[in-house]
Every structure is written in C-alpha cells, then in structure tokens.
Chain A
Amino acid sequence: MEKVLEVTGLSKMYKKGIYAAKEVSFDVKKGEIFALIGPNGAGKTTTIRVIATLLTANEGDAIVNGHSILNEAEKVRENITYLPDEAGAYKTMTGKQYLEFMASIYTADKEKAKEFVKSGIEIAELGERINDKIGTYSRGMTRKLLLSRAVMSRPALAILDEPTSGLDILNALEIRRMIKRFASEGMSFLLSSHNMLEIEFVSDKVGIIAKGHILEVGTSAELKEKYSASNLEEVFEKVVKEANLHEELSEN
C-alpha cells in the first residue's frame, strides 16, 4: 500500500547534544492510524512538530505524500492538518466563524471552503452552539471543534497530538469512533498518546517511544504476541525494561 508518511532517521535537539527525538523512523500508509505512545517527555510532541514542519529537523527526513519536510515544507503543509496538544481556538470567534476562517486558509476555492465548513459543522456535532462564541465552550466542545477542523479539509494525513486528553469517557469514545470512520474513508492519522489502552482500540499500528528513541513498531496484536503480553501497557513495560537493559549493556 502507498505510504503517506515516511520518517527516516529523524532527530531533533532543543539544546546542543541533548536529543528530544533521536533517529526516529516509521511510516504511515494510506488509511492507516499510527499512534506514537510513550511517557511524558518521551519526544512524541517533538517528533510530531518536526513532521508538521513547525520545527526543523537536525538529522533525517520525513516524506509526506512524496514531499520532504526539508525543502518542500509548503507542499507538506498542503497535505496535512495538525492539532496541537491542549490547543485552543480564537475565543472571540463563534465555532462557525472559526471553521470558516480555517477553511479559507486551507483552500482558496470558495465553493470548496463552503463544503469544508458544512462538513466541519456536521462533524463537530455542536448543534446550535456552533453559533456561540468559542470562549463560552467547554473543553470537550472546543476539542471537538478543533478535531472537526482537522478533518474537514480531508487532508492526506491528520496529525493529532493527544486528541482525547482531558475529555470524559463518552467524548473520548466519540472522537475515537470519528477517527476510525475517517480512516476507513482513506484518511491517514498520526496520533500521540500516553493512554495505551485507548491506543490499542483506535490504532492500526503503534510506535513505542521513550527518551526520544523509537523502541518498537508494529500492530498491537503483533507486539502483544512478541512480548507475550495481554495488553499494550504490559508490552510497553517490557519494551522499556528491555531497552534500559540494552542501554546498560552498551554502556558497559
């Protein structure tokens, strides 16, 4: 199957010598949901920001639909949408105005923009509240609005940093279902989370990341079998332990 995202040897340092992401490699196919899982500070957001062309890579490359983040950032951005972790929206706009504004950024075609907004309003499921100011929204409502913004333009790849963080079970469930539905229509997703159980449900493939390194990549079934674990949390625990062991061995 065709690769929508191909990451090879990606490294990022905020300060000289300290890698927040090191030699990260993985790929995401069309219609696939790929999740980066790892503890706080593992480098998930860093990796995602580099792929979303917000930060520049120190080493390595990422190809989105045939365009490199190194020299075709513009083209990459035409193929992605990005939802930052704990993002907000313009509080003085109404939900609808926000969608209209973002649609006009993603396409210059007025008809297309209208379509995007229409679809966005449907996905957000905010009812009449879509005409209220975003400042009056609850956290879950804002998150839903932002998510609908991220998928309404039908990007090749939607990058969502912790899409369900801070949401209650029902809202989280709804969002997971939504992601699955769009993936089945052919949209690819790159997610991040430290909620392993949720990831097990939603993603096709996971990449386990810790201390900036990708330690394992595979489907959750594959990984569970490989580590003879009953769920991803156990897999994660074993992978990290093993990695520490390796590190200790290589240090000696």
Chain B
Amino acid sequence: MKFFSLLKKEIRELLTPTAFIGMICTLILFVVIGEAFGGIMEEVVDEASTYVICDQDKSDFSTQLIKTLTIIPESTESGKIEDIKYDIDRVKLIDIESDDYQAELKKHDVSSVLIIPKGFGDKAQKGEEVEIHNITLMSSGSMLSNISANDAAIETFKAQVKSLFYVNNGLSTDNIVKGETIVQVKDTTVIKDKSADISSSVVSSLLSTQSLFVPIVIFVLIIYCSQLIIGAISTEKIDKTFETLLSAPVTRISILSSKMLAAATIAALNAVVYMIGFSRMMNGIMGSVDDGGASSKVLEELGLTLTTSSYFLLGLQMFLTILITLAVSLILGALAKDAKSAQTLMMPITFLSMVPYMLTMFVDIRTLPIIVRLVVYAIPFTHTFIASENILFGHMNVYWAGFAYQLVLLVICLTVAVKIFTSDKILTMTLSFDKKSKAGKKKLKLFGK
C-alpha cells in the first residue's frame, strides 16, 4: 500500500499539464509528418509506376520492348500468352529533340527519361552490345524525391532484350545465360544547366554527407542557442539578479544585446566545433572508401559544391536563424518563473525545429500538398533547413522568399522582445500552468499595463 501511495504521488507529479501539452505536440508532429509523407508518397508511387521513354529507334524491336513494360504483372500469373493484359498508361512516350535535357524534360513535365537510341533494335537483333540512355533531372537531395521508375525499367529491358533476341532468333529461352548482359546503361544526371554522366542515386549518396550533417548542425545550433538564452534569462529572473541589473545605471537595451551577443558567440563557437568534429567523424568513416577525390569532382561538375557566394548566402541565413532563435527565446525566457517552466518553454523551439528537420531529410518540401507546404513554410526554421538545397539546386526564388519571411519575422520578434524588456512586462509577465484550474487548462497571464 505504501508503495502505491508513492507511485500515485509520482504519477500525479509527472502528469502535469505540461506533460500533456508535450504529448499533444508530439501527436501533432507525427500527424503533420504523416500527412506530408502521405501526400508525397502518393506522388512518388504514381510517378514511379509510369515509365517515361523516348524511342529514337522506332524499330519493331524497340516497340516490342516498350510493350513489355505495359504488361500488368498480375495477368502473367497463369503463364499463358493469351491471358496477358497490357496497360498503355504505364508508359509515357516523349520526343527528345535536342541535347538540352533540362529544357526537354521541363517541356514534357517529367523528371527522368530513358532514351532508346537509333540502331538499338538492329544491334540487339544481332546480339551486339546495346546502350540505353538514362537521364534524370535532379532538383532535390532529399531521400524520397529521387525515386524514379527508370531503375525498374532498365532491369526489365535487360531481361527482355535478351529474351527477345532469343525468341526472335528462334532460340530457346532456356539457353539464356544468367549474368551476361548486353545492355549497357549510360547515366546522365542533370542539375540546373549542368549535367554529368553519373546516376542520380550516386549523386544522391555523394550528397548525403552534406545533407546529413548540415541539418544536424542547424538543429543543434537552434536548440543550443535557445537553451542558452532561456536559461540566462530565467535564472536571472529566478535569482532576482535581473532586478539588480535593471536598477543599475545601464540601459535595458545594452543588457539585452549583451545577452544576445554572448549567446550568439557561444553558439557560433559551438557550431564550428561541431562542424569540425562531424567532418572529422565523416572523414574517419569515409576514409576507407577514398576515391581520390573523384566524387568531389563529380559534384563540382554538377555545380553541387558550395562556392564562396553560396557559403555567404548560407551563413546569412544561419545568422538570421540564430537571431530569430535568440529573439524568440528572449520572449520565452521572460515568461519563465521557475526552473521547471523554463524547461517547458523550450518546447516550442524544439518542435519548430524538429518538424522541418525531419521533413527536409526525406522530402522535397516544394512537392508537398499545398496546405502542408504552407504550414511547413510558415515555420521559420524550415527555410534554414532547405537553404543549402535551395542554393545547390538553384531554387533561388524559394531561398529569397524564405529569407524575406524570416527577416520580417525577426523584426516582429525583436520588436516584441524589446517591448517586453523595456516595459514592466519583463518583471510581471509569467506563463502559469494553473494547477487549480479545471483539467489543467493552459493560462497565459500577461500582467502589466
């Protein structure tokens, strides 16, 4: 019985309104991410089941080959030819007239195409080696955005070219030698106006070092900065050292800005240490697969390396983000009345950085359903997480729009923070989770004039 009394007390203590809010936020986080993924997955699946082919050969062989792609897999189960059904919607045939793949793909509104070059059929009939051309337009480094149907189509082609060769030459398909391939694939990845003869999945994995560690640094930086400021303000408030400072012959603005500057400096230092540490770690891991700089050459060829100006843009965005974090944290810190509430007040920052952090790792925000996209764009930190991708892949309008939005938000937050700190509110404002009120309703008490 004694144990149960203890247990009851512990549970009651842990199940505070704050804990409930935390749970609700987590729920919302997952629902939002689920929504977002739902939308993007639909598109991915949709896109991945349509093969985009450009048939420059226009021979019977190539026509036959393409037809095999339209076979509905379930209809082949019986093994009888007459049962096989075709779905012509599975293949989209387009014409590529020039070498400007970017323009050509954009014109047809597709992100990838398989080109069957002239003479393909002739060569294949003779059993000679043939080549198909796999072209992918990459516009994002995120994981789900680079799934294309081409890989599946290529596999089908490899198998079909062989079996068609055997069938057309009256040979038994039993003689097909496994593993021997006569179809060569020439991969080309197009980014912006640049292209390289490499597959998009390789580019994607080369980028992953970058796309993995940049967001982590951003995330850590935001959380760290916020914690520093909320901690600094709340402990000063709790110990009343703040009142002492406010009564001293210094301006409130100088107190405020010294705090912000200190936090920003420490955060920046932290970021540098973090980046060095992380790149060291990655080097340690990648060291064993040293390719003599070949991968960096490819990225360079594709314009996927950060130039001085793009570093500047990234830094600018990061700086803006830190300022926003500091301003918001100043406001949150001013609301704290004890150590526990100070911890609770971290929650909004954590969630606002967690959502874009997780989303941008997997999806290209630009392809999300409009409502989800707007919600995600409304989160100021989203623009920081997508900044490097926007710069790399040339979505500069998205970058600048995000930048402008963040700037406006910063001005608003700073104004509010300064208003609070130069008025009575800094001493009279508290966020109280009134335990006496029914069902622990959240109550925001803003005293003052």
In the bound complex, CA of A146 to CA of B423 (Å): 25
A147 to chain B, nearest CB (A): 12
In the bound complex, CA of A89 to CA of B241 (Å): 6
| CB neighbours of A86 from chain B (8 A) | 240
| CB neighbours of B449 from chain A (8 A) | 13, 56, 58
The reply to whether B251 and A82 form a contact with Cβ atoms under 8 Å apart is no
Chain A's closest residue to B424 (CB) is A55
Q: Which A74-116 residues have a C-beta within 8 angstroms of B?
A: 74, 77-78, 80-91, 102, 105-106
The reply to whether A49 and B427 form a contact with Cβ atoms under 8 Å apart is yes
In the bound complex, CA of A90 to CA of B242 (Å): 10
Please, how many residues of chain B have a CB less than 8 angstroms from a CB on the other chain?
20
A199 to chain B, nearest CB (A): 22
The reply to whether B247 and A87 form a contact with Cβ atoms under 8 Å apart is no
Tell yes or no: B30 within 8 A of A by CB: no
Interface string of B234-265 (1 = CB under 8 A from A): 00001111011111111100000000000000
B336 to chain A, nearest CB (A): 15
| CB neighbours of A146 from chain B (8 A) | 244
In the bound complex, CA of A105 to CA of B242 (Å): 13
| CB neighbours of B244 from chain A (8 A) | 82-84, 87, 102, 146
Which of these, A15, A49, A54, A85, contacts B447 with CB under 8 Å? Answer: A15
In the bound complex, CA of A84 to CA of B240 (Å): 7
In the bound complex, CA of A14 to CA of B446 (Å): 10
Chain A's closest residue to B422 (CB) is A56
Chain B's closest residue to A15 (CB) is B447
Chain A's closest residue to B250 (CB) is A105
| CB neighbours of B448 from chain A (8 A) | 14
| CB neighbours of B111 from chain A (8 A) | none
| CB neighbours of B249 from chain A (8 A) | 74, 77-78, 105-106
Chain B's closest residue to A77 (CB) is B249
| CB neighbours of B250 from chain A (8 A) | 77, 105
A239 to chain B, nearest CB (A): 29
Sort chain A's interface into a size bin. 20 to 34
Tell yes or no: B428 within 8 A of A by CB: yes
Tell yes or no: A124 within 8 A of B by CB: no
Which of these, B238, B243, B427, contacts A82 with CB under 8 Å? Answer: B243
| CB neighbours of B427 from chain A (8 A) | 49, 54-55
The reply to whether B240 and A14 form a contact with Cβ atoms under 8 Å apart is no
The reply to whether A77 and B424 form a contact with Cβ atoms under 8 Å apart is no
A77 to chain B, nearest CB (A): 4
Tell yes or no: A52 within 8 A of B by CB: yes
Tell yes or no: A11 within 8 A of B by CB: no
| CB neighbours of A81 from chain B (8 A) | 247-248
Tell yes or no: A148 within 8 A of B by CB: no
B236 to chain A, nearest CB (A): 9
Given A14-B447, A56-B424, answer yes or no on A82-B247 (Cβ-Cβ < 8 Å): yes
B238 to chain A, nearest CB (A): 8
Chain A's closest residue to B423 (CB) is A56
The reply to whether B428 and A102 form a contact with Cβ atoms under 8 Å apart is no
Q: Which B319-376 residues have a C-beta within 8 angstroms of A?
A: none
Given A15-B447, A86-B240, A90-B241, answer yes or no on A52-B247 (Cβ-Cβ < 8 Å): yes
| CB neighbours of B424 from chain A (8 A) | 54-56
| CB neighbours of A105 from chain B (8 A) | 245, 248-250
| CB neighbours of A53 from chain B (8 A) | 246-247
| CB neighbours of B251 from chain A (8 A) | 74
The reply to whether B248 and A77 form a contact with Cβ atoms under 8 Å apart is yes
In the bound complex, CA of A86 to CA of B238 (Å): 10
The reply to whether B248 and A106 form a contact with Cβ atoms under 8 Å apart is yes
Chain B's closest residue to A85 (CB) is B240
| CB neighbours of B423 from chain A (8 A) | 56
In the bound complex, CA of A56 to CA of B427 (Å): 11
B449 to chain A, nearest CB (A): 8
Chain B's closest residue to A108 (CB) is B249
Chain A's closest residue to B238 (CB) is A88
| CB neighbours of B248 from chain A (8 A) | 77, 81, 102, 105-106
Which 9 A/B pairs are nearest by Cβ-Cβ distance?
A88-B239, A82-B247, A87-B240, A84-B240, A84-B243, A77-B249, A78-B249, A52-B247, A105-B248
B residues with a Cβ closer than 8 A to A are 238-241, 243-251, 423-424, 427-428, 447-449
Q: Could you list 25 examples of A-B contacts with CB < 8 Å? A: A15-B447, A54-B424, A55-B427, A55-B428, A56-B424, A56-B449, A74-B249, A77-B247, A77-B248, A77-B249, A78-B249, A80-B247, A82-B247, A83-B244, A84-B244, A85-B240, A86-B240, A87-B239, A87-B241, A88-B238, A88-B240, A89-B239, A89-B241, A105-B249, A106-B248
